[in-house]
Amino acid sequence: MNNVMHKAQELAEAIVESSIYQRMHAAELQVNKDEEAVKAVSDFVEKRQKVENILASNNMDHNELAEAGKAMEEAEKHLNEVPLIKEMQESRKEFTQMMENVNRILRLVITGETEEEHECGGDCSGCASCSSCGGCH
């Protein structure tokens, strides 16, 4: 058990030391320090909250919802145009891809299978059991 925990610690350290993580972390720090980025994020969050509040109300006004939805879309568009936000989003995407690859490797080593092998295409000729994927009828 200690060996597993030690290897998990080493993996975590390797992830934190990776250029992909470092890029993402730096981008997040820059966004949090940039006035324009912070304002764009808070504006979007405020507009999204308004839409959520309208959706949660018992007497939803569809016109008010449409206006709030449009305002939220405009705030999101502005948010996505802020250069530091773009950099943060791109770096988070790259980090997510790296972590998905790490998980695929772990799954392959542990189970001998990849995620794709579990997906059913509807053709039962290759299935070991229709109950294993639930896709064959």
**What pTM, to 2 d.p., does this model score?**
0.72
**Tally of domains within the chain:** 1
Can you list the alpha helix ranges (DSSP code H) found in the chain? 2-17, 19-33, 35-56, 62-81, 83-111, 130-133
Nearest to 23 by CA among 69, 101, 92: 92
Contact 68, 55 (CB under 8 A): no
The per-residue pLDDT for 59 is: 87
CATH code assigned at 38: 1.20.1500.10
Q: What is the mean pLDDT of residues 115-124?
A: 56
* Domain extent at residue 7: 2-133
Specify the DSSP class assigned to residue 58.
T
pLDDT category at 119 given cuts 50, 70, 90 is: low
Type of residue at 51: V
Q: Per residue in 2-34, pLDDT tens?
A: 999 999 999 999 999 999 999 999 999 999 999
Distance CA 86, CA 72 (A): 18
